[in-house]
Homo-oligomer: A and B are copies of this chain.
Amino acid sequence: MNNISELKSPAVFIGKQGNGIISFGSGQPDLPPPKEAIEGINIRSDLRYGLIQGEPKLRDSLSKEYPASAAENFVITNGASEALDLIFRAMDKGKVLLPKPYYYSYPEILKFSGMEPVYTELNKGRIDIDDFTEKVQDCKAALINSPSNPTGRVESIKTLKEIEKITKDLGIYVVSDEVYKDLIYERENYMIQGSHVITINSFSKTYAMCGVRVGYLWSNDMDIVNKVIEIKTHTSMNTNLVGQDMAINAMKAPKTYIEKQLEIWKQRRDIIYEGLINLGLDLWKPEGAFYVLPKVKNPRDTVWNLYKKYNVITYLGNWFGAPDRIRLSYALDIKEIEEGLKRIGRYLEEN
């Protein structure tokens, strides 16, 4: 990058690493997957076409994790991305309500699948249920994401139950992207339920397997499940079987694997949150996932100068519908977080 105008998407930072760079950029865990996910994988048994819907063993394991589900309610996909893409391709075309700031792919996924995104502005990083209720009236679906990338916030159980009811009464879908559901610091998760709910999840974040590309959707509405399978039959066929085997095995890891990870994430959260507060920045306290989204003056200049002069990668809030903010992922070890905070401190002092 030679010019600030090149700051168009997270892609500009791909491959920028080493040389003392501290990267608060990419949203992928740096922790190892459970050893179960790697050991005992026999590639040789994964060479022939599998079921489009996904391996029965994996769907069986998932049905045990979700109460009120059966193996037939799941479709295994190339990450949560494909699950979202297929869901919106399968729906009747129309508006979809999206809380803003949003995960940067959401508006694009909706547009590529022929849907029209409409927005409800978050209040302190959480859904404003009055605005949500007003805007959702003429939508085909709402897409929510709790814990949220990029805000790090978790919706209250009250809000989730209200969303569950409003969408049910309207007879529309609610698509709940829960890829960070195992990374909540503050309370138990509440899973919204009902035959109008489509839950999206992935093995990428919980089990640190981003590159393997295994995600899934589940819904008790077999019409939408069957429509998704029909589309996937032609557009990508079965999800890669080696990845599905790894996912089956990852789910055999003891619960302590997830608990230990959560402790590490919480420690990092405390350090980066307090560090940025001490630097005088205005930000919401993350309750889940691994992102902070502080307000800064001149976000574009900030991201540019932090990278060019201080060797620190941050993402522009504008990519996530948050034009007055920048996003930092804290998927890196504490020493690096502390060094990054020092450099951000120097930048704030010197500018």
Q: Which residues of A contact B (CB under 8 A)?
A: 11, 14-15, 26, 28, 33, 38, 41, 43-44, 46-52, 78-79, 81-82, 85, 89, 105, 108-109, 112, 114, 208-213, 231, 233-243, 246
Bound Cα distance from A208 to B46, whole angstroms: 11
- Measured CA separation A105–B52 after assembly (Å): 14
Are A11 and B233 touching (Cβ within 8 A)?
Answer: yes
Q: Considering only CB atoms, which chain B residue lies closest to A11 in the complex? A: B233
Across the interface, name the chain B residue whose C-beta is closest to A48.
B211
Known A240-B242, A243-B240: A81·B210 in contact at CB below 8 Å: no
Of A44, A212, A240, most B-chain CB atoms within 10 Å:
A240
Known: A41-B43, A81-B236. 10 other contacts (CB 8 A): A28-B48, A33-B47, A46-B212, A50-B211, A78-B239, A81-B235, A85-B235, A85-B236, A211-B238, A212-B242
- In the complex formed, the residue of B with least CB distance to A211 is B241
**Contact assessment for A211 and B46 in the assembled complex, using a CB-CB cutoff below 8 Å:** yes
List of B residues within 8 angstroms of A33 by Cβ: 47
* A to B CB contacts below 8 Å, 28 in the list: A43-B246, A46-B211, A47-B209, A47-B212, A48-B211, A49-B210, A78-B78, A79-B237, A81-B234, A81-B235, A82-B236, A85-B234, A85-B235, A85-B236, A89-B112, A109-B235, A112-B231, A112-B234, A112-B235, A211-B238, A212-B240, A213-B236, A213-B237, A213-B238, A213-B239, A213-B240, A240-B240, A242-B242
CB distance from A155 to the nearest CB of B (A): 24
Tell me which residues across on chain B come within 8 A of A14, comparing CB atoms: 51
**Shortest Cβ distance from A307 into chain B, in angstroms?**
19
A81 contacts across to B, CB distance below 8 A: 234-237
Contacts of A210 in B (CB 8 A): 47-49
A142 to chain B minimum Cβ distance, whole angstroms, is 19
Query: Which B residues touch A236, using CB under 8 A?
Result: 78-79, 81-82, 85, 213, 236
Residues of B within 8 A of A211 (CB): 46-50, 238, 240-241
The smallest beta-carbon distance between A256 and chain B, in angstroms, is 20
